[in-house]
Amino acid sequence: MKKLFILSVLAVAFLSSNALAQRGEFTDSEIYTMELARCDNMYVEQMEAAVNDKERVQANYNAVKCYGDLGNKVIDKYYSKSAFDKKANLKNYIDNSYIVTRDIYEQQDFCTPRRGSLSEVTAKATASDMVRFVVEQYIVAASRNGD
């Protein structure tokens, strides 16, 4: 159901975006929001196609890369004077998201059957959500401050 909703939203956005794009009526933040939705859609498709936990973990890595690349684009556009530092901060945030979620989900004092692979998928999915949230905040700030 979640995939159907996301695909419906993307279809409507795509159809309306083509008309607007032809007229040049998109702000940068709207374009970035569409790119964020593209990353979301890629993630949903890869998770649904995954046949094992290794592929689910890879889908999360791919989503984080997509979000991170988008975050770097926003930084280049709206934080150009301090882009080097901001990109380093985003990279550190991404790296630390993995560390913290691994601590939370994979390094508990107890163990249950299949805990390892399920915990790893959960940790990577949580890190992906965290990175998505931060990149979305960059987009929101851009839309409020000069877009």
| 5: exposed, middle or buried (Cβ count in 10 Å: 0-12, 13-18, 19+) | exposed
| 3-54 per-position pLDDT tens digit | 555 545 544 454 444 454 455 688 898 999 999 999 999 999 999 999 999 9
d(CA 106, CA 32): 33
Q: Rounded to two decimals, what is the model's pTM?
A: 0.80
Work out the average pLDDT over 91-103. 96
Whether 17 and 59 have beta carbons less than 8 Å apart is answered as: no
Q: Rounded to 5, what percent of the chain is helix, strand, coil?
A: 85, 0, 15
Residue 39's domain comprises 2-144
Total domains in the chain come to 1
Contacts of 82 (CB under 8 A, 6+ apart): none
d(CA 97, CA 32): 22
Q: Residue 141, Cα to own-chain centre: how many angstroms?
A: 16
Q: What is the mean pLDDT of the chain?
A: 85
